[in-house]
Structure 1
């Protein structure tokens, strides 16, 4: 029997990370976690994971909690080495393990993504922002099939694309639940509260991603991600609203056939597929219950009430640093919204203003250029919010 594949989990205490731990723990003969990393807001949970998984290293972004983490590790009997500071996740991503699962939230995942690719690890990518803001930088660092998506939509597309050759693909159809405000007009969204935005009807996710799902920014970013992952132009990637979240995405072929990937909403399935790629792991999740009557709906996207997808199409088509600016401005706006400092509809209004003011530099994309564009976008957004 082959040795277990070694795995590094970034964002191990988050939604994706904890479900990945569940998938891996059930298959000790297949996977061995060597390192984990998280922000540091829950040192106790991080230490318990380290002890349960028997990891060699634990990374924490907040250097000031390193001492507390060491004490927590000792208390649970773990002798893992602590790596602390803003580059901790990137350092662990560059270890050269078989698989790095990047389950971090936000563009802070860019450097870990690049480090994992350069080190030759297969990248199980849940941190879509790193691909979106890194664009050509990330693609240039990746070997063929080195990036395997964890997002349920892109995992579905990758599975459906196995059903035909690249030249046979007409378009990609990315499904969207529509979020908690599906069917509302823009005027009806004006007074939405953070509590309402965080009440997603289907998925259990962190507050930033859940808010992005409510504004459909998440879906706009997924269109850019699909464009980068699968190489199709933006005008051949469509969004279809599917409230039941059972059809996770579809591929339409030139002969009129459409292949869909269907399963109950459970992130363990795409996580397991990314970890075991190209193999499927038996029993990763439950299948559809075909003995129970059900109805699946498919609806057009309301671009007027939810303009985020159109904004993302523009950012993705323009390329260079504009996707990074869109993402950074949105992260700042979501934080302000969750803090009660910004109205729901003002999130995208502000992001659009920052995008309109940005002039992407010419020439090849560089890491320094991306980081500078992000810095500018965050400063400009904060100035608008406080002005």
Structure 2
């Protein structure tokens, strides 16, 4: 392990554990994580109070409904063009004479909310645009419940430079599982982390059998209901590769001690193996209520946050090794994570563009990772010790997106020729 004083996420170190009801800011409130977090808050009004919400701006009616239910002070949208529709939706929700919440708009609005007065910021934004709010929350000294893995992955050194020990509580089901299992032992006694993967809709298929899979097949996840990007990432196992990088950064465990195992039932969300041979697994039925509750309430647990197992009913739990030939994404993620600097940002940005191309019918399924691999290879190896800035990340992402689009268009043209 490294000589850092403590990992970013440490269940033994509590950052800003204020008593009483916690004031929350929820970023990405109209997405899957955001809506489930709001449901948890509404069921536990004695524990949580939401002061502000942010969203992209595409679902203004839902955002207005959330703002009214929670009586927030401020709402924000990334798209300035959505302000008019949001204001009208708020007027329809609020009664005559009721003051409307303040409205913020623009690409910096979410970061502004992340730095506002509150106890915990839940970053449920999808994609690397969540980096600025993550940095803003950490700089302002807020506890950060992190569902936006991309911000940690693309901005690893920047996040680590700002985060105090224990300031980040992970919300991904896998990392919330590791977080809880790590609470059972000393950090020095950890032998390895085992990250579980459902295997996605194509578990057991060879690379050749994946060549002609369709958009509809790739979007049919056997276990989880998620947005299209993360569902495709689960089908390619890119999501698992990103989670390996995230585990390395959160828990300061070397890549060679982070293992991925396929577990189709998705009951065991991840495991920690200790030096005495013991392995602790965190398990619940597939449901994000538990990880969200850990992120918002730790070190306290929120009763009935998620369903529990019925142990009177027989069930089978299976574990399989990862097929690295059919799914090379995890190995490539380890490679870019080891390179560090802007390499993870290039990997993530190129993948986002390739997923869009696949969903649009412009790239075959195997072409996603083939193209991402080519972009990462062209990016090259960063010089050791090169400092990283937000501008560096944005520049690398811009290049990677453009290059991925070029290669995707070339592949499409060649296929049609």
TM range (shorter): over 0.9
Deviations 1:323-376 (A, max 9, x none): 000000000000111111111110000000000000354311111111111111
TM-superposed CA distance for 1:3, in Å, is 4.3
Structure 2 length-normalised TM:
0.91
Instruction: Please give the alpha-carbon distance, in whole angstroms, between the structure 1 residues aligned to 2:313 and 2:286.
Output: 16
Question: Is residue 375 from structure 1 mapped to residue 398 from structure 2 by the alignment?
Answer: yes
Q: Judge which range, 237-246 or 276-285, deviates more.
A: 276-285
* Residue in structure 2 matched with residue 301 of structure 1 by the alignment: 322
Instruction: Please give the alpha-carbon distance, in whole angstroms, between the structure 1 residues aligned to 2:171 and 2:381.
Output: 29
TM-superposed CA distance for 1:386, in Å, is 2.2
* Residue in structure 2 matched with residue 70 of structure 1 by the alignment: 87
SS at 1:163 equivalent: coil
Question: Is residue 57 from structure 1 mapped to residue 74 from structure 2 by the alignment?
Answer: yes
* Residue in structure 1 matched with residue 220 of structure 2 by the alignment: 199
Question: Is residue 366 from structure 1 mapped to residue 389 from structure 2 by the alignment?
Answer: yes
Question: Is residue 268 from structure 1 mapped to residue 289 from structure 2 by the alignment?
Answer: yes
Aligned partners of 1:57 and 1:83 also within 8 Å: yes
Question: Is residue 135 from structure 1 mapped to residue 152 from structure 2 by the alignment?
Answer: no
Aligned partners of 1:96 and 1:120 also within 8 Å: no
* Residue in structure 1 matched with residue 308 of structure 2 by the alignment: 287
Deviations 1:240-298 (A, max 9, x none): 00000000000001111100001111100000011001211111112111100011000
Instruction: Please give the alpha-carbon distance, in whole angstroms, between the structure 1 residues aligned to 2:317 and 2:212.
Output: 30
Instruction: Please give the alpha-carbon distance, in whole angstroms, between the structure 2 residues aligned to 1:75 and 1:167.
Output: 56
SS at 2:193 equivalent: strand
Aligned partners of 1:321 and 1:360 also within 8 Å: no
Equivalent residues in 2 for 1:223-372, closer than 5 Å? 223-362=244-383, 363-372=386-395
Instruction: Please give the alpha-carbon distance, in whole angstroms, between the structure 2 residues aligned to 1:382 and 1:340.
Output: 13
Aligned partners of 1:63 and 1:85 also within 8 Å: yes
TM-superposed CA distance for 1:2, in Å, is 5.2
Equivalent residues in 2 for 1:98-109, closer than 5 Å? 98-109=119-130
Instruction: Please give the alpha-carbon distance, in whole angstroms, between the structure 2 residues aligned to 1:380 and 1:386.
Output: 10
Structure 1 length-normalised TM:
0.98
Instruction: Please give the alpha-carbon distance, in whole angstroms, between the structure 1 residues aligned to 2:321 and 2:338.
Output: 22
Give the counterpart of 1:23 among 33, 36, 40. Answer: 40
Instruction: Please give the alpha-carbon distance, in whole angstroms, between the structure 2 residues aligned to 1:212 and 1:64.
Output: 30
TM-superposed CA distance for 1:86, in Å, is 1.2
Aligned-residue CA RMSD (Å): 1.1
Equivalent residues in 2 for 1:156-195, closer than 5 Å? 156-195=177-216
Aligned length: 387
Q: Which runs of 4+ in 1 moved over 4 A?
A: none
Instruction: Please give the alpha-carbon distance, in whole angstroms, between the structure 1 residues aligned to 2:138 and 2:74.
Output: 20
SS at 2:202 equivalent: coil
Instruction: Please give the alpha-carbon distance, in whole angstroms, between the structure 2 residues aligned to 1:185 and 1:229.
Output: 32
Q: Unaligned regions of 5+ residues in structure 2, if any?
A: 1-17, 411-417
Instruction: Please give the alpha-carbon distance, in whole angstroms, between the structure 1 residues aligned to 2:396 and 2:242.
Output: 17
SS at 1:173 equivalent: strand
Deviations 1:163-210 (A, max 9, x none): 111110000000000000000001111111111111101111111001
Aligned partners of 2:25 and 2:121 also within 8 Å: yes
Instruction: Please give the alpha-carbon distance, in whole angstroms, between the structure 2 residues aligned to 1:32 and 1:25.
Output: 9
Aligned partners of 2:340 and 2:382 also within 8 Å: no
SS at 1:297 equivalent: coil
* Residue in structure 2 matched with residue 45 of structure 1 by the alignment: 62
Q: Unaligned regions of 5+ residues in structure 1, if any?
A: none
SS at 2:75 equivalent: strand
Aligned partners of 1:153 and 1:174 also within 8 Å: yes
* Residue in structure 1 matched with residue 230 of structure 2 by the alignment: 209
Instruction: Please give the alpha-carbon distance, in whole angstroms, between the structure 2 residues aligned to 1:139 and 1:22.
Output: 31
SS at 2:51 equivalent: strand
